[in-house]
Amino acid sequence: MKYDLPTEITVTGDGPVRTVTINRPAELNSVNANLHWGLANVWRQLAADKAVRVVVLTGAGRAFSAGGDLNWITTFLEDEAARDESIREGAQIVEEMLRFPLPIIAAVNGPAVGLGCSVALLCDIVLISETAYFADPHVAVGLVAGDGGAALWPLLTPLLRSREYLYTGDKIDSALAVELGLASRRVAAQELLDQAQHLAGRLAGQPPEALQGTKRVVNMYLSQVLGGPLQAGFAAEVATMKTDEHRRRLLAFAERARKT
């Protein structure tokens, strides 16, 4: 099957397993407009490919995804239409991943930050490289963590621990991620993709109706629990996008990034 996707996201593989790669390695797979659209639209295309049984999601190069591309995000300060479209598309990413009928294995090969972290944690199984970490820095740039973090993390890890890391934006290394329940297991960097592919092969050999039905029931629960908090989170994130505090912090962060 031919996939209609931008070059920032690729689908490869033969047989029943497809590997989806976030493909902006020079930019640490930070999310620009094309990649954001791709993350929102790849899932229906995969579901329509009748040969697929399991998906592995990973990043090209050194990162899984470093979050929003600053060159793209800063345009929202002046372009309300682009900002609002990004929020609509962000909700689509979450909804499509929850609705996707097949198992998704995240192979978190490097930093997974902001939206990158949310996308990883929406997968069914999360394998994390020993050298990788999670972080959600929304609050640090004056935003509500509305695109998954504030709604999703409390379902996966103790509420008190969720608060600490969402409020501070501190990094969660791979060992701590497993301890907190944000990752299934920790894997040596050089073995990560092999282990993800091996696990994918095992799942592809399971009875498909039983496996997909089990996922459907689990995600039915997640969708019901997440519905209210996600809607509230996106609305609150939009509100904070309009604040002077966010503008000041985002521009200062972008300036620091340019100097490094």
CATH at residue 66: 3.90.226.10
- 57-99 pLDDT, tens digit per residue, is 999 999 999 999 999 999 999 999 999 999 999 999 999 999 9
- 133-149 pLDDT, tens digit per residue, is 999 999 999 999 988 89
Percent of the chain whose predicted confidence (pLDDT) is above 90 = 88
Domain assignment of residue 214, yes or no: no
Domain assignment of residue 177, yes or no: yes
- Name the token pair of 50: 């009748």
Give the per-residue pLDDT at 148.
Answer: 83
Mean of the pLDDT values across residues 160-166? Answer: 93
Domain assignment of residue 108, yes or no: yes
Inter-residue contact 54 to 19 (CB < 8 Å): no
Mean of the pLDDT values across residues 22-47? Answer: 98
| Residue 126: strand pairing partners | 106
The closest alpha carbon to 250, from 164, 146, 139, 170, belongs to 139
Give the per-residue pLDDT at 181.
Answer: 96
Cα distance between residue 168 and residue 142, in whole Å: 11
| Mean pLDDT across the chain | 95
Domain assignment of residue 251, yes or no: no
Inter-residue contact 64 to 116 (CB < 8 Å): yes
Domain assignment of residue 212, yes or no: no
Give the per-residue pLDDT at 52.
Answer: 97
Identify the domain containing residue 126 by its residue range: 9-192
- 181-233 pLDDT, tens digit per residue, is 999 999 999 999 999 999 999 999 999 999 999 999 999 888 888 888 888 99
Mean of the pLDDT values across residues 241-248? Answer: 95
Number of folded domains in the chain? 1
List alpha helices for the chain, DSSP H: 33-48, 70-73, 80-99, 115-121, 149-156, 159-168, 174-180, 192-204, 208-241, 244-259
Domain assignment of residue 161, yes or no: yes
Inter-residue contact 53 to 208 (CB < 8 Å): yes
Domain assignment of residue 213, yes or no: no
Cα distance between residue 23 and residue 35, in whole Å: 8
Domain assignment of residue 23, yes or no: yes
* Encoded amino acid at 34, one letter: N
